[in-house]
Structure 1
Amino acid sequence: MPGSAFKSGERVSLRPVEPEDDEFLRRHRNDPRLRKPLGEVGPHAAADVAEYREEVVRGDDGVTLLIRVDGDPVGLTFLFREDERRGVAELGYWLAPDAWGNGYATEAADLLCAHAFDERALHRLTARVYEGNDASARVLEGLGFVEEGRLREDGVWGGERRDTLRYGLLAREWRVGQGDAGTE
């Protein structure tokens, strides 16, 4: 059902991406403030956004969810490259610039961690951040992710070669951070 919540927290709710979200996705995936840290080359035409949405909606290696505050879209969070055999997936997220600095990314990513560890029974999540994207690194570190490595000059951010920082989080570490050191 369009608009129904997949998961809800104190301030944010997550729901599947729908065709009605295409304009939001186009506007923000074309915003240079987002394209830079995401490594997007853009700009994206409306048809590109619809194709992207269809690809993530029908993708079978994870889940992509719209982040909403008071019913309005503010970003996306996603699990991708999921490997059920190994119990591993990669976490990602982005927020519209007018939603930055409010803790929405942290809350949304935490909800998706709960889904990954408690409902999908994953063992480990990974994440990537371009060096210099301190806000995104703080989100991960606040959730208990640990920097595990650096891929030198792995990506281009704002026209410059940047290192990619690799982060990881085990289910048991996340549970300790949640005040529940239960078994995996």
Structure 2
Amino acid sequence: MSVDMNEDANTALNETDGDGAAGEERVVVWRGAGVGFSALDVDDAELLASWRVDPVAAHHIGFWPRPLSALRERIEQHVEDNERDDFLVLRPDGTPVGHIALTDQSQVDGTAEVELLLAAPYRGRGYGPAALDALVDLAFGELPMHRLTASTHTDNAPALAVLAASGFTQEGVARSACLHRARRHDLAQYALLRPEWERLDRPHAWDA
């Protein structure tokens, strides 16, 4: 699975709650409304590992427990993979709040898949919708993408709401496509096309 936002699409960003110290200074390579993107690095493996053990994330994304060394190796592979771009989602004070990625990119077909994981303390604060909108703008505004896809459990109502709010359309359901905790789960399949993005009535990332 690719999306676990657990967000309220109408929640405003809270930038001054003082929850958590600002992270180390990172180079922001892309900005959205109230969020920034920093390129994911191997040294971020421990941070991602701490987010992935959260039971809500494990349920909705289906993470399999892996050692930290394996996660570091996977990030190293991702860094070298020209068909994906991985970022940490940052608050304005530099605190990392999630991981977002554009994967399985095809420059020929203009297609890619969206992945998003938010750290548990930062769900429901508007970072998910802001990060997704920013990534969509990156894909259509700077890259030659024509179609973005995303999938998540059909019972992940917050993530489904965020996808819909960002303009994604549900195209179908992959029935019994995921095994987790001895149960089969259906996956909702969503997509957003470039012409649909162009018709969205919202500021773009470069307008923020």
TM-score, with length taken from structure 1: 0.91
- TM-superposed CA distance for 1:8, in Å, is 1.3
Partner of 1:24: 47
* Counterpart mapping for 1:88-167 below 5 A: 88-167=111-190
Residue of structure 1 equivalent to 2:88: 66
Deviation at 1:158, TM superposition (A): 4.2
1:76 equivalent in alignment to 2:99:
yes
Q: CA RMSD in A?
A: 1.6
User: Which aligned runs of 4 or more in structure 1 are off by greater than 3 angstroms?
Assistant: none
Using the alignment, how far apart are the partners of 2:118 and 2:112 within structure 1? 20
Shift of 1:179: 5.0
Distance in 1 of aligned mates of 2:165 and 2:197: 10
Q: Distance in 1 between matches of 2:180 and 2:69?
A: 25
Give the gaps of 5 or more residues in structure 2: 1-24, 204-208
Deviations 1:60-114 (A, max 9, x none): 1121111111211111111111111111111110101111101111111111111
In 2, the alpha carbon distance for the partners of 1:102 and 1:59 equals 31
Checking the alignment, whether the CA contact within 8 Å between 1:95 and 1:105 is kept in structure 2 is yes
Specify the alignment match of 1:11 in structure 2.
34
Question: Partner of 2:63 in structure 1?
Answer: 40
Aligned to 2:194: 171
Does the 8 Å contact 2:46/2:68 carry over to 1? yes
Q: Which has the higher contact order (CA 8 A, sep 6+)?
A: 2
Deviates more, 1:166-175 or 1:154-163: 154-163
Q: Which amino acid aligns with 1:62?
A: R
Q: Residues 5-64 of structure 1, C-alpha deviation per residue, up to 9 Å, x if partnerless?
A: 11112321111012332221111112222111111111x322122112112211111211
What is the CA distance between 1:171 and its match in structure 2? 0.9
Question: Across the two proteins, how many residue pairs are aligned to each other?
Answer: 178
- Maintained 8 Å contact 2:32/2:133: no
Q: Identity rate of aligned residues, in percent? A: 30
Between Structure 1 and Structure 2, the one with more strand by share is 1
| Structure richer in helix, relative to its length | 1
Structure 1 unaligned residues grouped into runs of 5+ = none
1:56 equivalent among 70, 75, 78: 78
